[in-house]
Structure 1
């Protein structure tokens, strides 16, 4: 009997372990390089959606006519404080936090209207808001019955709208 020669290659288990380590490293690098503007804008969209839904609920509960509008460019006033970027007209003072963005550089625009009617009726009509921060853009959309949902573009908004039961395709510009 001759002694067994050691193998010159790698075992299947060793190759799979190397592939697993490469995949995990790639995934961690991908997470660490995520677009900061996109993350900030998603956070702003979630917050704005929650504020609008709170205003809708207060308008329905109290029977008040409430409008949401952007006040223009958010800037610093003479005292160094951020001016309001948006406001809820018709709600009592202090009902909601001041309409300031979490991150400076965020902008918003109501598509197809100057302001949004949020109540007192439970159906408010189809509404869309475009948010931007740096190069990132999001659209908040509702059919007037459901809550506002965020999408990155018109195609995603249409797909989300169909999944959430929103009525029809997005309006044409």
Structure 2
């Protein structure tokens, strides 16, 4: 009667270890810091909204101003419900509360808004323009 060997071959063990390594790498990428990701998305979105509001203001000749509110923000001078009024996540807030004029003049002067994470105020991004160039997202340096 032949002997039955129990156990795994070296090849089977290597395949299992490779699968575990690939799965671990996928989980590590999936578990990125969500508060930073949402802050980046809110900053990029706000920069795009600023440019859209500038274009609408120049096109209509109506002065448009952006102002943060307790629950988000508002664009005054534009038709109601034409622009979003809330952040994508609940962890974003504007650090400054000054209104940002967006037009109708083609050159608006130097403007900036700093967004930060409510849960971790050390995470912050600046949306800024020199008045002639489009708004861009920049890291905040201490």
Per the normalisation by structure 1, the TM-score is 0.61
Q: Which among 115, 119, 125 is matched to residue 99 of structure 2?
A: 115
- Across the aligned residues of Structure 1 and Structure 2, the Cα RMSD in angstroms comes to 2.4
* Aligned equivalent of 1:34: 32
Ranges in structure 1 where 5+ consecutive residues have no aligned partner: 1-22, 75-84, 156-173
- Contact 2:35–2:91 (8 Å) recurs in 1: no
For 1:55-134, list aligned pairs within 5 A: 55-71=53-69, 73-74=70-71, 85-97=72-84, 99-110=85-96, 114-133=98-117, 134=119
1:30 is displaced (CA, Å) by 4.9
| 1:28 Cα deviation after fit | 4.7
Q: Which runs of 4+ in 1 moved over 3 A?
A: 23-30
Are 2:126 and 1:142 equivalent residues in the alignment?
A: no
Q: Any unmatched runs of 5+ in structure 2?
A: 1-20
Match of 1:12 in 2: none
- Displacement of 1:26 after TM fit? 8.3
Indicate the structure whose relative CO is greater, using CA pairs within 8 Å and at least 6 residues apart: 2
Q: How many residues end up aligned between the 2 structures?
A: 121
CA contact (8 A) 1:70 1:109 kept: no
- Say which SS state the counterpart of residue 116 (structure 2) adopts: strand
Deviations 1:27-61 (A, max 9, x none): 65652342111101011111111111111000000
Residues 117-153 of structure 1: CA deviation (Å, up to 9, x unaligned): 1000011111111101232211111111222111222
